[in-house]
Structure 1
Amino acid sequence: MSQISSNSYREGRAALVICETINTAKEIYEELKSSIKGEIILYSRSDKESLSKIDKELEPGDVIVATNLAGRGTDIKVSKKVNSNGGLFVILSFLSENTRVELQAFGRTARKGKPGSAQIIACTEHLQHDFRSATSLEEAKITRNRLAAEKISSMMDDVSEMNLREDLFSEYCETLHDIYKKTDGDDRKVIVAIMNEFWGIWLQIKSEDIEQRKKSELQQSLKKDLSVARQESSSQTSPCSSIYHYINFGNIFLDDKKWENSARLFDKAMKQDKSWAAIAFYSHAYCTIQLSKGDYLTQAKEDLQKAQESLKYLCEECLVCLQFIKMASVDSGKGEPSSLEKQMTSKCSMYRFFDKNITEAIQKIDEIKEKGRDAIAKKSPVFSLVSDADEALQLEADNLYSRGLKYVFSVEEKPRFCWEGLVVFLLGVLQIVAGALLTVFTVGTLAQIGMGLISEGISDCIEGITAMVTGEFSWKEWAIGKAISIGVSIISFGVGKIISKGFKAAKTAIKAIGKKLKSLPKFLSKQVKQSLSTVTKTNMKNAVKHTAKKIAEELLFYGLEKAEEKALEKILEGIKNEVTKGIVKDVKTNLEKEPLATLVDHVVLLDLLNKDQLRHVLEDKDIKKHLLSTYKQLGKSALQPLYADLSWQNKLNSSIIKVLDSAAEGTKEKLVQF
């Protein structure tokens, strides 16, 4: 105050008070505001408004309270009166960590030959901890300068270590550059990823040598170690003995359909650590099915079971983390789940989808083994396990992808040519030919039996073709169907009728031959040959017409049956979707009105409190009867909207049936005309 106030020999000066922190500057500003006769300015920010306050010249009695911002390159202007009274008076209210800051602050005054002075005014309690033991300001400065020198020396050591690390990194970059020149595609990605991991591990191992600045030894060791790591990576060997390195190598051969090489690398990953090799076991099972050697289904099943066991460790780890997160959320009092809780929940869900895929593959393998058939594995991207609309699950799928699970697969029965179907088809052809010949050469007496053989033959041909297309056939089912068909024929025509027809046919044939022998001296005369040829041609024509008609009918009704099955499937699927939507919508609406947890708690409490009352109600027959009628009415009213919403499916179903019936009738008419 004495420096900025007027006295007997001079007028007042202007002052600049430099504080260590913004809070200290504000406190001093508030303390001085009432006692300063001139203008007092707070300068703690370097924005335009603050700069405009100190842009004008300071008059005698004016004071600026500022942080160290004013001590770095800020030009404080003072009036001629201030310069004539001794210039700007600078007060440094703290002992800086080094001399540079102190000199910068003092340099705000006595600039360009103008007068000025500066002073440090600091309280011992406000000094830094290392300076408080000093008995004077000079002793505190000596301690400060010593500590600053030690800090500079430590920084120079850090600079030396940084230079050494930079040289080692340059050596590693040269190796990487050579890898990029000589590799490409997936090989480059995998090798570069392995080398990056190896580089990080090498730095950790050599950290003590780096601190001791053993430059020449480190450079020689790095060259040797990088060369070995590169050779091992090029030969599909992990220099770090990492499971995921072998999995990535296996995936390269998997994309190239080199199943044996891929299986060999997955096997190496499995041997590293069985507890965490779920992806390796799973991918090895896929390669085993593709190779199809020996008892491959049993081997694939064992791999999948081991993958499932390994996956349990990942699931348990995830669930434990999720439980701790939920416990922490309860303690914090937050109602909504945190982002970490959502992430762990999505991870657990992703593992469940993966586990479900493995379970389905094992079940399918068991089914195929029971049939004694072969299997194939159809792969798809790992992202196909979850919905594209669920971003959280897609992120977790990407996490599995980055760990080596590029594909998931489903097991299916291997398609095969059904030789049984071919045999049945040929039997059908023989039946058609036999039926046609029987119709032609028995002079019509066994025509009905011939037509029955033709019908059975056509049916067997269609069944044989279907079996050859689908690869599915059962002699047992075919025999049962054939027995039923023969039984129906026997019931329809009667055994006696068949026998009588046989006798009549024989009698007619004998009479015809006797008459011909009596009337014609020569059996093979030209006229008889012509008449027999005409009869044969006519019968053959009729048989061919009937056969063609029967084939067309069977094929048409087979096609209509398949079309009707598909139509009914679509209708039922539509009904199922509509009912599901309605139920889900109602459930969501009810849950929004009343949360599920609250509802469950309420039901449990009611059960505990009103158990005796409920028993009493159920024992009373009248009350029980009344309750049943009430529930029936509620059920009808609840189902009525759903039934009304499905009216369009009922109309569509009836329309399709009418169209199919009319098509069948029209086809029958055309066949009859034919």
Structure 2
Amino acid sequence: MMTQGREYMIDQTLEAVGDKHLYHAIIPVDFQASGVLEKNKRWGDGLQQFLEMKHQLATTPLSNVTNYLSNFHYFQKYLKGNGIFGVSGTLGGDADKDFLARHYETDSYIIPAHRHKKVVELPAIQVTGQAQWMEILCKTAMRVAESGQVVLVVCEDVKTASELLKKIEGENPHPPITLYTISEKHNIERTKFRGGHVIIATNLGGRGTDIKVDQDVNIRGGLFVLLTHYPGSRRVEKQVFGRTGRKGNPGMVQMILCGDNLAPAYQGQPVEIMRQLREEYEVQRIKDMETDELLEIKMKEDLFGTFCEFLDKFHGNFTKQERDDLSGMGPNDVPECFKEKGPKFDYQPALNALKETWALWLTLHEEHIRQHEDISVLKADLLEHITNRGNMLLNGKSQNFYDHIKQATGRTDLHLRNKSKCDYEAKSYWKDVEECDPFYSAVAMYNQTFITINMGKDGYKTEAQELLERAKTSVDVYLSETTNTMVSFQIATRGNFEPHHEGERNFLKQIDSRMSIHQAWILNIDLAVNQLKELEGEGPAMTEVS
């Protein structure tokens, strides 16, 4: 179950230049721990694209994992040196400390605080019914604010925070309210809050946030932290309550929970019993994690290690010159080996192809890994798969259309540095692209035309015209598929698909832009053909790169 305002949000990923909604994207939220919007994260297995379609946003490409190193094993690497040292105000319970001791060889010590804590914890309250719970939260926050304190209300997710904000703003009069759910937009650490202010936040406001209040607020009891959900661990609870009573100042904390949202074992229990049960659950959760999740992580890293060992050996099939970075080289510095068509793919396209092969293999074998199948069998299967792929690449063969495109694009980049002298066999590689998938050959023929004109060999104008005419016919395939996509989308979204804003949808704009590009492409082909006909017998043709 994926809910907007909980597991994900729709927000801008880039600074908006014009209409802000055009920059909207699906952004995962770490709502259970930090409350942070994970803008660099994309879900796999088509989930990201499904949510984009659901909200009629522009779709993004599918992504694959090619490099794999978990946080768990990353920190274990420090054990080879002097070990791990650190300080934490919220290390967790005994289960967490035992876990750190087993896997990171750490001892834990309690360092006495410089000042005594002056935090008063009020009795936790369980409320039956969402509406009644929201009403009590609203009244409690307003009552405490009226007493001259600052109230920090920490909600489980953005959706709840937004509902509570709307509820309090509906009261007349209502206290000044600050929303803190997105760190980039709502920076509350720069503000010194006066009494009577209410801050509504997610766990983003309950983790490492230093909330400053006037001295008058401290005289009236300090910052009041109102926790509206029961955290999954003692560590997160302590982090939230740790926002108040800092630096020797007074503070107050209270949990007001909706019983409907609690696990059955917690419902109706006093908070002391709830904490005891949670600690027992935490022990079992960590045990399950060690026998399940950590084993899967270990298997993936072992398989990634097998892939890396294969890559080390694969490098030996290329000379140092063949592996050199060509991006900054001038035309006179390009090695001779790139001026002819070799028997194998170039180093970078071959490397990219192998990384993609590994990523797809890992995706297709996720279930095998979840079932904890024999790692030696999986390693053997992976090695056979990437070895076969590597041998094909070393023989200049691939069934993947995009491998040939990357190869041809790299050689075309070299050709652009010396347009009239050498094509670095780029034209030949674009022919390979065309042969690999004739239905999508428009780009291949268009680039062949470009190179043909640049080289200016006998009969090049006639050949260029023929290539352009064939390319124009092939562009119709793109136009047809784009049109079908648009029609299918319009049919599919007649149901309960939720648009992210009123007016024209981003997805339709994206498809419309593609169609405009294809139509402009056809127009440019027609113009180029006409110009080549006009230049017949009158002089050389030239290309321009913008």
When normalised by structure 2's length, the TM-score is 0.43
Give the number of the structure whose alpha-carbon radius of gyration is greater: 1
**Structure showing the higher helix proportion among its residues:** 1
Structure 1-normalised TM-score?
A: 0.36
